[in-house]
Structure 1
């Protein structure tokens, strides 16, 4: 016999709850599947939302970069045109006129030789501005079978000449050519600047 009945019991008395009705395994499995589906759907929705946010962020950064790039390109193009403008002016006001003046006589002789092909028995004439006749005469080769007449006309300005071989005529006008080049350069720079301002 024990003495447990003599000692006082200080332990908590636990009440025994009535047993809950038994839950079937099928119901537990259905609840597990439903919980899995809900968790999977919630995770999928979070992933799709995160991907959409990332796409929006990347698109915004790309658009910003393209705008910066476009602005930088327009800025570079404008600076390039501004730096080329003085060079074009020097080219058309000094370099090209000097080069044309230096090669004017050679150009006349080359043009005359081209016109004379097949017409070697026709009279040939060169009309130049006053003071250019001697320079042109010195460049004429002896190979022409028909003598070439060189005369000066006060109506013509320097850099201007008329050539004739038989009934064929040709005009050489360096000033008109330079003016055409200047107009082309001005039109190019005008349109390029206009395009860079309006994109």
Structure 2
């Protein structure tokens, strides 16, 4: 029979030496602690700056919104107060001004046509009620060869001035009507925008 030889564990073994870590250098410890503290301080400062920026942005947005609301509110009040004034001007004042200057406008238009059509007489067609005012203006400057013709189809603010083949139309009534319509549309739009925000 063969015998197996088994290892003997009873004998003491030589102890393995474990390498002891070198003690850290005090300078390295301080440098590492400084860098960690610096990084933490930098992170805190960046977070504080981001928070301040977010707060300032929110405050600025709120201020702009309040200013915008105040502007639109003031504009709405101003237009609400000016609406009746503008309407009165278009309905009463402008027609009087237009009527007062109607005869002069017709004569100026006739003179411009006379310059381009020098060899032809100028014919002015107006409603019968405008004839006296035109004759008064023309009487002040009799050198212009004008022929005034009554035309009952024309309104008080309308005139047709012709010389040869050239013709000009003066329509103060149409202009005033267009101004009235534009003002009404504008005021209606403003009123609707105030109602619907």
Name 1:105's counterpart in structure 2. Answer: 103
Stretch moving more, 99-108 or 178-187: 178-187
Name 2:81's counterpart in structure 1. Answer: 83
Name 1:39's counterpart in structure 2. Answer: 37
The superposition leaves residues 25-76 of structure 1 with CA deviations (integer Å, 9 ceiling, x where unpaired) of x522222222212221221121111111111111110111111111112112
Cα RMSD of the aligned pairs, angstroms, is 2.3
Name 1:143's counterpart in structure 2. Answer: 143
CA distance in 1, matches of 2:158, 2:44: 82
Q: Is residue 77–residue 196 contact of structure 1 (8 Å, CA) maintained in 2?
A: no
Tell me the number of residue pairs that the alignment of Structure 1 and Structure 2 aligns: 174
* Gapped regions of structure 2 (runs ≥ 5): 1-21
Distance 1:197 1:28, change over 3 A: farther
Q: Following TM superposition, by how much is the alpha carbon of 1:196 offset from its aligned partner in structure 2, in angstroms?
A: 7.0
The superposition leaves residues 155-190 of structure 1 with CA deviations (integer Å, 9 ceiling, x where unpaired) of 222111111111212221111010111223334445
Q: Any idea what SS the aligned residue of 1:158 has?
A: coil
The superposition leaves residues 90-109 of structure 1 with CA deviations (integer Å, 9 ceiling, x where unpaired) of 11101110001111111110
After TM superposition, the structure 1 = structure 2 runs for residues 59-138 of structure 1, keeping only pairs within 5 Å, are 59-138=57-136
CA distance in 1, matches of 2:30, 2:109: 99
Q: Any idea what SS the aligned residue of 1:132 has?
A: helix
Q: Any idea what SS the aligned residue of 1:131 has?
A: helix
Q: Any idea what SS the aligned residue of 2:161 has?
A: strand
Q: Is residue 128–residue 152 contact of structure 2 (8 Å, CA) maintained in 1?
A: yes
Q: Is residue 123–residue 165 contact of structure 1 (8 Å, CA) maintained in 2?
A: yes
TM-score, structure 2 normalization: 0.79
- 1:50 has 2:45 as partner: no
